[in-house]
Amino acid sequence: MWLRPVAEADLDALVSLDADPEVMRYISGGVPNSREDYERGLLARMRAHVDQPYGFFSAFTNPSEGEYLGWFHLRPSVFDEHMLELGYRLRREAWGRGLATEGSRTLLDHAFGTLDQTVVDACALPVNTASIAVMRKLGMTYVGTFSHPRVTQMQVARYWIHRSGHPSAGSRGAC
């Protein structure tokens, strides 16, 4: 898998990804983000950190941008802007192949090895057992269930991992 910052050229792929109700099941109850949503600001928000060493990254099968797999993010946490948050959204065809774990591990290596972060968090709906399994595979620890800071009626399970608990803790790597 190959990651690069989300680009404006990804618009069609992003709209297609979000058009799958199963992909959006634990995000919006299956309601897609439309092309207009992306054009009115969603794509700009995803690209807001393009000049930073973190942000949203499109995932492809190879460096020549083969099959679009989805995206990953390492961005300021919705719970605490002083830490980074890990997240992803993958096409259904990419599920069950270990790609969520692979991309997430790459971003954790970057967060701890290059960006010298102390802790990284992630959250998911408590019923999203697949994403929770990925967080556990990464060595993340359950913190509790909380109201999502941006969608207060939504309860999310929050996990985090400290640098000392991640294999790249003593190394410096690059994303």
How sure is the predictor about 6, in pLDDT bands with cuts at 50, 70 and 90?
A: very high
- Give the model's confidence band at 168: pLDDT under 50 very low, under 70 low, under 90 confident, else very high: low
Residue 26 has pLDDT above 60, yes or no: yes
Q: What average pLDDT does the chain have?
A: 92
Alpha-carbon distance of 32 to 20, in angstroms, equals: 7
What tokens does 45 get? 């928000």
- State the Cα angle at 154 between 153 and 158, rounded to 5°: 135
Residue 158 has pLDDT above 90, yes or no: yes
Q: Which superfamily does CATH assign the domain made up of 2-165 to?
A: Gcn5-related N-acetyltransferase (GNAT) (3.40.630.30)
Pick from 51, 66, 128: nearest CA to 95:
128
Over residues 31-44, the pLDDT tens digits come to: 999 999 999 999 99
Q: What is the band of 150 on the pLDDT scale with cuts at 50, 70, 90? A: confident
The CA distance from 108 to 74, in Å, is: 8
Q: Across residues 136-154, what is the average pLDDT?
A: 91
pLDDT score at 153: 83
Short-list 146, 141, 149, CA closest to 126: 146
Q: What is the pLDDT of residues 79-108, one digit of tens each?
A: 999 999 999 999 999 999 999 999 999 999
